[in-house]
Amino acid sequence: MPSATAERWQRQLDAAGPAALTVGVIGDPVTHSLSPQLHMAAFAALGLAGRSLPFTVPAGKAAEAIDTLRTLGLRGLSVTMPHKEAVVGLVDAVSEAAGRLAAANCLVNDDGYLSAHTTDGDGLIRSLEQELGWAPAGQKAVVVGGGGAARAVIEGLSRAGVTEIAVINRSAQRAEAAAAVGGPVTRVGGLEDLGSADLVINATPVGMAESPGLPTPIELFRPHHLVVDLIYQPATTEWLRGAAGAKATAVNGVPMLLYQAAIQIELWTGMPAPVAAMRAAVADHLTPPGANSG
């Protein structure tokens, strides 16, 4: 039995044609993005005739892409590097969270009225809540990194009720700027903050093949830590192996990837995202056979 929302979408598709539920991903590079597969799996599981396509849009061309979104009447866009900041100044409305970050990763087109949203921070939080039963209230966090992912996570954690966030980053200036995003509960910290932290997050590329190394020394992990590496390729970094070895709870970047896309699906369709179907659609791409996904 199709839901009322699915029936509404079907009527819109019949009336407006395929653009009514066509979405895209803009970025450069974008060809290896898993987002179209996540979106398509969601549309299929929801019984919607939607589609999602990757579009390579070079730096400086976000305005043209947004004109196309309006002109063609697409339902929305996922936005990745290098356009996350530029799109905020090109739409009709910006969510509070995206405004605080001055960056967005999702655009929604309501009959020509465009709004910009950010789903990375909430995606991480929802993934930990749903998959581990984690609750942010009263928790102390250390975030390693000061780039776009770190800022999104800091913004989300501070809004969710985490009581203390210490930011550790290579360059002091970006650490300060990222900490400012989290308001009064957030400050620039150091490795000494790890001991009392509940949640430790790597939001740097350190641990990927092209950037080997450890974001923090693994000797500092303790069993009470929830350790999250936002990296999802490789599925298990040396840092996460160190966390598991110290009997901490270790989580890779897959759940955040999944849930940030799930929230985008909900923004576009108004329907609860079918997370299991979305996870199955990308599982083969993320976890090499026999690997421990962390």
Shortest distance (Å) from residue 13 CB to ligand NAP: 29
Nearer to ligand NAP (CB atom), residue 48 or residue 167: 167
Shortest distance (Å) from residue 151 CB to ligand NAP: 7
Scanning 188-196, 206-214, 235-243, 271-279 for contacts with ligand NAP by CB under 6 A, the matching segment is 206-214
230 in contact with ligand NAP (CB under 6 A):
yes
Report the Cα–Cα distance between both ends of the chain, in Å, rounded. 37
Q: Which of 9, 232, 239, 268 binds ligand NAP (CB under 6 A)?
A: 232
149 in contact with ligand NAP (CB under 6 A):
yes
Shortest distance (Å) from residue 92 CB to ligand NAP: 26
170 in contact with ligand NAP (CB under 6 A):
yes
Q: Which of 56, 71, 211, 292 binds ligand NAP (CB under 6 A)?
A: 211
CA distances (Å), origin 165, targets 77, 91, 151, 154, 155: 31, 31, 11, 7, 10
Nearer to ligand NAP (CB atom), residue 1 or residue 209: 209
30 in contact with ligand NAP (CB under 6 A):
no
CA distances (Å), origin 111, targets 4, 64, 98, 164, 193: 20, 18, 21, 41, 48
Scanning 25-33, 88-96, 200-208, 277-285 for contacts with ligand NAP by CB under 6 A, the matching segment is 200-208
Nearer to ligand NAP (CB atom), residue 5 or residue 33: 33
Q: Which residues contact 169 (CB under 8 A, 6 or more apart)?
A: 144, 145, 146, 150, 175, 178, 188, 204
Shortest distance (Å) from residue 284 CB to ligand NAP: 17
205 in contact with ligand NAP (CB under 6 A):
yes
Shortest distance (Å) from residue 258 CB to ligand NAP: 8
Q: Which of 36, 136, 146, 234 binds ligand NAP (CB under 6 A)?
A: 146
Binding residues vs ligand NAP (CB under 6 A): 120, 145-150, 169-171, 174, 203-206, 208, 211, 230-232, 253, 256-257, 260
